[in-house]
Amino acid sequence: MSTSASASSSTPSKNATAGPSSSTDAELEKLLSREASAFQREVEVERILKAFKLNPYDILDLNETATQDDIKKKYRQISLFIHPDKTPHARAPEAFDILKKAESELSDKAKRDELDALIAQARVVLLGELGWPSSLRDIKELEASEELQSIGGIRVWRDRVRAKTKEMLIDEELRRRKALQLALANEGLEARKKDEEVAGRKRKAEEDKAWEANREQRVDSWRSFANGKKKKKGKGPTLLG
């Protein structure tokens, strides 16, 4: 019995042998997971930075059918994932601010309604450009249509709608900026007119003040001139001989 115990104690168990190796594998797996996670965070930061800034749906990687709960859930998910405290990417704070602004715009009903209306208009324009019937505005009819299959399916259609929406948003932004520039130019013109009016009034006041200040001098000059004229008239003609 002692011999058996001795043999048992001298032979290492399977668990004892597997322990260090298993621990090393777990640590390596955890390290690789952390590195993969860090890489994915940086990829997501880059995606947000490259997203079309005028369309908050693109930034949040959602479409216009998303509910407010969907928007809040997606924002929370991405914001936690790319938070500057967890992401080494140098531009993570910038991406975080862009994401926050996108969520804020989609949470504003008026702004979201305006964007949704423009996207709906982009669909109508695209249907017209493709020569498709207006009945295909309905998504169910569109999905069942031969026209949709002819271009490669719903994904291709959504990509085209997104591209058309981008084009229209850019046009709208350019118009907005031109209108702003014109308004600023008009404001500048009005400001210059006001400045000129103020300067004109100031100049007139200074001229009036100078006129009043020289009044006595002008009166004296006139008197001297008048007196000299009288003296000349008082002298008779010089007689010769």
Instruction: Tell me what the pLDDT averaged over the chain comes to.
Output: 83
Sign of CA pseudo-dihedral 114, 120, 124, 129: positive
Higher confidence at residue 186 or residue 238?
186
Query: At which residue do the structure tokens 């505005």 appear?
Result: 137
| Residues 78-85: contacts with CB under 8 Å, at least 24 apart | 78/44, 78/48, 81/40, 81/41, 81/44, 82/41, 82/44, 82/45, 82/48
Inter-residue contact 95 to 83 (CB < 8 Å): no
Among 94, 111, 125, 93, CA closest to 57 = 111
Count how many domains the chain has: 1
Looking at the predicted structure, is the pLDDT value of residue 240 above 80? Answer: no
Mean pLDDT value of segment 19-34 = 67
Looking at the predicted structure, is the pLDDT value of residue 167 above 60? Answer: yes
Looking at the predicted structure, is the pLDDT value of residue 236 above 60? Answer: no
Looking at the predicted structure, is the pLDDT value of residue 40 above 50? Answer: yes
- For residue 17, the one-letter residue type is T
| Residues 174-181: contacts with CB under 8 Å, at least 24 apart | none
CA Rg value for the chain: 43
Looking at the predicted structure, is the pLDDT value of residue 238 above 90? Answer: no
Is 24 among the domain residues? no
Mean pLDDT value of segment 32-38 = 75
pLDDT at 37: 86
- Encoded tokens for 217: 């001098």
Is 228 among the domain residues? no
Is 135 among the domain residues? no
- Encoded tokens for 126: 């695209």
pLDDT at 82: 94
Is 100 among the domain residues? yes
Looking at the predicted structure, is the pLDDT value of residue 61 above 60? Answer: yes
Is 45 among the domain residues? yes
CB atoms within 10 A of CB 102: 25
pLDDT at 100: 97
Mean pLDDT value of segment 69-80 = 95
CATH code for the domain of 71? 1.10.287.110
Task: Quickly list DSSP for the chain.
Answer: -HHHHHHHHHSPPHHHHHHHHHHHHHHHHHHHHHHHHHHHHHHHHHHHHHS-TT-HHHHHT--TT--HHHHHHHHHHHHHHS-TTT---TTHHHHHHHHHHHHHHHHSHHHHHHHHHHHHHHHHHHHHHHT--GGGGSHHHHHT-HHHHHHT-HHHHHHHHHHHHHHHHHHHHHHHHHHHHHHHHHHHHHHHHHHHHHHHHHHHHHHHHHHHHTHHHHHHHHHHHHHHHHHHHHS-PPPP-
Q: What is the domain range of residue 69?
A: 36-107
pLDDT at 12: 47
Q: Which of 53-62, 79-88, 163-172 has the lowest mean pLDDT?
A: 79-88
Is 74 among the domain residues? yes
pLDDT at 26: 72
Q: How confident is the model at residue 32 (pLDDT cuts 50, 70, 90)?
A: low
Is 91 among the domain residues? yes
Mean pLDDT value of segment 54-64 = 95
Is 88 among the domain residues? yes
Inter-residue contact 58 to 104 (CB < 8 Å): no
